[in-house]
Structure 1
Amino acid sequence: MKKPIAAVTADTLLADMKPINQKMADYAPRPLLNALGKAGLLPVILAYDDYADPEEFVETFDALVIPGGPNPSPRFYGEEPLWCIGPTYEKRDIFEIRLIKACLKMGKPILGICRGMQILNVALGGTLWQDMPSQNPKAFIQHMQKAPGNIATHYVEINKESRLHDILGDGLYVNSRHREGIKKLAPSLKEAARARDGIIEAVESRDNELVAAVQWHPENMEDGVMDPLFRAFADRIIRLK
């Protein structure tokens, strides 16, 4: 059986890469590619092209994976950037927003991870906390963890009515590397999990099985604890093909 193709959107290294003097290098996280491959998918890295529309890529893959990365630019949800936020890269924002809309129009599954969940929410009409420590006093949990990135540091409670509950159960400890968070949830999404301070940690589509996203980094967690998440994504692609 031919493996489904999962396109992973690339980040762009804005600084020079020494010693080969490579500039504007495109890349994706190796642990994520490995996790998708282990689940039975064929991962390919998808970089934006200044000479092609994002929609032109959609027929070349079966599902879209949007990994972590820099802050989505606040202008895409109608705000000005705060001093405290990190770097943004609008070319990636535009590329992913248009890919998301094209995939939904063509009925192709989407998995968002960390930034991927945030840009998904923005693409569908939601908003973000740009910097939870300064903007949201209720966010008392350390979401930008100081522990090594592969270590699970805080608990998430999973909605019993969600598809995620069928995959991961009532809840679990996850890693956490984000300062942004969902402020207003997009109308077409529903929450699937929350942290104990109320921050949304996972979302799903209200209407179908096309969309799933988590705020943590499942590709970095240890002991195969997130294997069921990636297998469920692969199974969903196969069912919808």
Structure 2
Amino acid sequence: MCACSGAAAAAPLLGANALRTLTLGALGVSGVAVSSSASAAPAAARTTLTADQALQRLMEANKAFVADKTPTPQLDRKRRLEIAQNQTPFAVLLSCSDSRVPPEVLFGQGLGDLFTVRVAGNTVSPEGLGSIEYAVAELGVPLIVVLGHERCGAVGAAVSIVRDGVSFPGAIGEMVGPILPAAIRARDEDGDWLDNAVRRNVVDVVERLKVSGKLLEDPLAAGKLKIVGGRYDLDDGHVDFFHR
């Protein structure tokens, strides 16, 4: 019998919180704090930064990156051991898989600083949404950044579908599908179609996250969470936080 089945069978005896911890443990997820019962372990440490402070930290770090003055991020053995038992990221980065857009580098961050979810076109799937919700609900992350970038290949593919009727093999077409509404709406805007679609796609994802369900909606309403969008310029390295 698999661990998950065993956990389900034990539900009447364990209770919801213990079952949840057991199930997550079977899946290899550690450092999950459960605090709704008197016998539960104390909650794990969380970042002390507010959403605005977290955003300011990213903005200042990106300025340093652009100026080639990025401080050395914490990547050594000391830092590795500091976070081995618990993680306290201060921001979620939903960004593109593009090899030129690694969030930790653009923002000069080290081990354990950012909770990253990466997929071509920085769209959000159920798996991606669950990852983001976990970061907010379980790790206490106060800031979500949806990061698009200049000359995004996935957004360019969506534009080519709308403009030229191009089709893509395998799962690539399905991957591009969620970006099509942004490509369509950007078609009649002034300026570069592709770059307008990149920005429009970021806005669409931010707005979708804001109405995705209680795990994000409640901390948003309470002022404990902020969701913003940005665009990374491949040429000059600057991140423009244009939707916040």
Higher Rg: 2
- The structure with the largest helix share of the pair is 2
- The structure with the largest strand share of the pair is 1
